[in-house]
Structure 1
Amino acid sequence: MTTYSERADDLCDKLRDLEHQADDGDQLFYCAYLLGLLGLHSAAEEEGDVAFDQYFEEILKDTLNAENVSEQDQGNILGLWHRVIA
């Protein structure tokens, strides 16, 4: 079974690929936002892709709200997150 760290590394690789292909500043921001947050929360000692994705999405939503990110940016960041985990 995949550890949280392995899952986060895999998702970071996907995000970096998208970041290199980004053609606008907003996309770069969304990728960088997710990469930074993934780096902070990948060390939990648990396993499972689905479990990590659910764990991280809760943290992501809480962080977006705590940082008062605009609704539009929240929607775009969450949309990117869902695209990456699909």
Structure 2
Amino acid sequence: MITFAERSDALSEQLRELEHQADDGDQLFYCAYLLGLLGLHSAIEGEGAEEFDAYFETELKATLAAEGVTDKDQDAILGLWKQVTQ
């Protein structure tokens, strides 16, 4: 079974690829935001891709709300998250 660290690394790779292909500043921001949070949560112990995704999405939503990220940016960041986790 995949560890949380391995899942975080795999998702980070996908985001870095999207970041390199980004053609606007907003997309770069969204990728960087997710990469930063993934880095903070990659050391959490656990196993399972679905388990990590559920854990991280909960943390992501809480962080977005706590930081006062605009609704537009929240929607875009969550959309990008959904894209890389499918």
Normalised to the residue count of structure 2, the TM-score between the two structures is: 0.99
Secondary structure class of the residue paired with 1:7: helix
Pairs aligned (count): 86
Query: How many angstroms does 1:45 deviate by?
Result: 1.2
Is structure 2 residue 67 aligned with structure 1 residue 67?
Answer: yes
Structure 2: 5+ residue stretches without partners = none
Match in the other structure for 2:42:
42
Instruction: State percent identity of aligned pairs.
Output: 66
| Separation in 1, partners of 2:39, 2:17 | 16
Match in the other structure for 1:77:
77
Secondary structure class of the residue paired with 1:32: helix
Q: CA RMSD in A?
A: 0.3
Deviations 1:10-65 (A, max 9, x none): 00000000000000000000000000000000111110000000000000000000
Structure 1: 5+ residue stretches without partners = none
